[in-house]
Amino acid sequence: MAAPEAVRQILFGAFPRLWPIDKCCYNIYSVRPSKLDACSRRKRVLVNTQARSSSRVFYTSKRMSLFHCTDKVPRRKCSFDRLGTIMCNCEQQENVSSITTNDQDSTRSKMEKRPAVGSLSEIVTDSTEQAEAIGVDGITKHVNGGFTSKQKMPIDGFITDPVHKISSNPIEDEAWNLLRDSMVYYCNNPIGTIAANDPNSNSSLNYDQVFIRDFIPSGIAFLLKGEYDIVRNFILHTLQLQSWEKTMDCHSPGQGLMPASFKVRTIPLDGDDFATEDVLDPDFGESAIGRVAPVDSGLWWIILLRAYGKHTGDLSVQERVDVQTGIKMILKLCLADGFDMFPTLLVTDGSCMIDRRMGIHGHPLEIQALFYSALMSAREMLAPEDGSADLLRALNNRLVALSFHIREYYWVDMRKLNEIYRYKTEEYSYDAVNKFNIYPDQIPSWLVDFMPSKGGYLIGNLQPANMDFRFFSLGNLWSIVSSLSTEDQSHAILDLIEAKWAELVADMPFKICYPALEDQEWRIITGSDPKNTPWSYHNGGSWPTLLWQLTVACIKMNRPDIALQAVQVAERRISKDKWPEYYDTKRGRFIGKQAQLFQTWSIAGYLVAKQLLANPNAAKILVNEEDSELVNASSCIISSNPRRKRDKKKKSIIV
């Protein structure tokens, strides 16, 4: 390649990971495994006979998995603000792959300075005028399948308009600077962004780590900006951290789980006083508060992988053997048979964005929406081969059953509330109307006043004899994005947001849930959690990062004015308040009492919302369009008599 930018691209060799990680180590640029003695896990490992003076080795210990990069020369240690991230000056191992062979330089990719997206006031002149589309920087394909440069490229079948130069917004300029300051480097290459980067904080807790779910808005922001290296590196490196064995007290999460977060550490090499190595230290929940494994990490990873391919046009990443294997492992983990009778995914409390005890154990809407979106995305990306046939069949059957279950049983509006109010209980038969034995007295008093005459939403959870009527924002918004909700239901959710603007948006968007648990209910359900006091943190707090999900949902339903108003509300304070993690009180007027400042996903969420409002077509990389075959299959279920007796032989619905 003549272009220096193309030379700097990272190419990971495709290889099947068919051996246990604890018994071998491998270079991510090689298909050859190399046995690693347990006593020499910090020694340099030569993966093949043509290895240079550096190598990258993935190894596991009894309690952690580490990805490391070594070099024999002394390293200079550089810090980024408080982050203890060290950039090692190692050379990239020569790529040995059955598919591609290419020597490359792994020096740090330099992020180009591009004009910031203009302010909303400059883009939208009135509520009826459509925002002027801003094109997305394109990319040039090089021989090994990677992409770089700035040519105009298609996004999902359409060509974007050329980039318009618009005067920059100081808030956006500040946000971009803060986002880039939060970047983490591994072996001189950007690999993610830390959760928060407050230079005045004395305690980082675990906010100096790269969280999978937190990086998603950062990754989308970089994609829309035309800076693809960091997203590609994140996808491929986190794939190597995927769980292959049990690591927590002999009861760790199953095979295929993605870590909640990881941290780049620098350790000295044995036998050399000057050389160091970078290692990736993942956390699968072993050190998390409550020791709960993350269910949503793998689902978000699949969603980001699809977005990368659709935006860049670079399908070589998702077509790699190891990436295909990673997708299948996540799907098999989620689709595994168990004792649960419902098509929804059964999870524990605190296993998603709401990562503390909040009474969402069971079948929380947020996980179901992400699950549905990940299944739809994976179906697009799975290679058509004999080994995938059974998995695709199970995937399609689950999609049909899941969409019917959520649309039919999670939906509430005034009509449905009246139906629940008149439910008969203790019905024992296949043709029961009240299938989950819901008692009418469960309808809370606040819901009678909260529910508008026009509008509705998907409840937070459904279990036998229990409907959690709380409004959870992420689950409802992503149900719109993924087409889990019907078109009418999607519009009704946005109608509810407009009607209840004072409760859900107020002085800072967006309420994570409504209403908050209070008094004795708060004590019982949260265990008197001092961080989840009423109208704080996950218990009714306001989270600016939800802006980007609100924006995608509004653009999909052709109602961007709702997101535009929410962004304008946020712009009044968020920069002055130093980009907090969350806000407290019913109207979101106070900065959260324990909120981290300069929270990265608050910054990235704002930037993604601005970019999408400026270029609505780009939202297609995140949206799952409704599948006509799934709709027909669901219609068959609905149109058939729901009270009929179940057939003795259960039949599968195959799309």
Q: SS3 sequence, 392-431?
A: HHHHHHHHHHHHHHHHHHHEEEHHHHHHHHCCCCCCCCCC
Q: How far apart are CA 457 and CA 484, in angstroms?
A: 12
State residue 253's pLDDT score.
63
CA dihedral 41→241→346→489, nearest 10 degrees, is: 170
- The pLDDT score that the predictor gives to residue 275 is 87
**Cα separation, 543 vs 206, whole angstroms:** 19
CB atoms within 10 A of CB 140: 15
Which spans in 80-211 are helix H? 120-123, 170-181
Residue 245 has a pLDDT of 65
Count, in order, helices (H) and strands (E) of the chain: 20, 19
- 130-139 burial: b if 16+ Cβ within 10 Å, else e: ebebbbbbbb
Give residue 276's pLDDT. Answer: 86
Residues in the chain: 655
pLDDT at 69: 59
Compute CA distances 441 → 9, 424, 452, 522, whole Å.
61, 11, 20, 19
Cβ(208)–Cβ(195) under 8 Å? Answer: yes
Model confidence, pTM: 0.76
* 555: its two tokens: 């653009």
Query: CA 229 to CA 236: how far, in whole Å?
Result: 11
With beta carbons less than 8 A apart as the criterion, state whether 615 and 137 touch: no
DSSP 483-533: T-S-HHHHHHHHHHHHHTHHHHTTTSS-BSEES---HHHHHHHHSS-STT-
Q: Count the alpha carbons within 13 Å of 501 in the hemisphere toward its beta carbon.
A: 9
* Residue that has been written with the tokens 């090689």 in this structure: 30
Distance of CA 215 to the CA centre of its chain: 7
Give the whole-angstrom CA distance, residue 233 versus residue 229: 6
**Residue 338's pLDDT is what?**
84
Q: CA torsion sign, 172 to 173 to 174 to 175?
A: positive
Burial bucket for residue 116 (CB in 10 Å: 0-12, 13-18, 19+): buried
Residue 431 confidence (pLDDT): 84
HEC sequence for 270-334: CCCCCCEEEEEEEECCCCCCCCCCCCHHHHHHHHHHHHHHHHHCCCHHHHCHHHHHHHHHHHHHH
Within 8 A by CB and 6+ apart from 381, the residues are 302, 305, 306, 309, 318, 324, 327
Cα–Cα nearest to 642, from 462, 438, 431, 464: 431
Coil, helix or strand at residue 434: coil
Q: Which two tokens stand for residue 549?
A: 């999900």
pLDDT for res 553: 98
Sign of CA dihedral 431, 435, 441, 447: negative
Please tell me the predicted confidence (pLDDT) of residue 107.
Answer: 32
Cis peptide upstream of residue 515 (ω within 30 degrees of 0): yes
Is the separation of the CB atoms in 265 and 279 below 8 Å?
yes
**pLDDT of res. 132:** 38
Q: Which amino acid is at 21?
A: I
Task: Determine the Cα angle at 479 with ends 124 and 261, to 5°.
Answer: 95
**Residue 573: helix, strand or coil by DSSP?**
coil
Please tell me the distance from the alpha carbon of residue 618 to that of residue 615, in angstroms, as a whole number.
6
What are residue 527's phi and psi, to 5 degrees? 70, 30
**Under 8 Å between Cβ of 189 and 236:** no
Average pLDDT, the chain: 77
470 φ, ψ (degrees, to nearest 5): -60, 145
Do β-strands 466-472 and 456-463 pair in parallel, antiparallel, or remain unpaired? antiparallel
Per the listing, tokens 């490992």 go with 45
Mean pLDDT for back-to-back runs of 10 residues, the chain (655 residues) = 42 37 34 31 29 32 43 36 35 34 35 34 36 36 36 39 53 97 95 94 85 97 98 97 68 80 90 85 83 92 98 96 95 90 93 93 97 97 86 94 96 96 88 90 94 96 95 98 97 98 97 97 95 97 98 98 98 97 97 96 98 97 88 66 46 50
DSSP collapsed to 3 states, 67-114? EEEECCCCCCCCCECCECCCCCCCCCCCCECCCCCCCCCCCCCCCCCC
Residue 105: the pLDDT is: 38
Torsions phi, psi for 186 (to 5 deg): -130, 115
Identify the CATH number of the domain defined by range 170-629.
1.50.10.10
**DSSP structure string for 327-354:** HHHHHHHHH---S--SSSPPB-TTSSSS
Residue 5: predicted pLDDT? 44
Cross-strand partners of 76: none
Quote the pLDDT of residue 87.
36
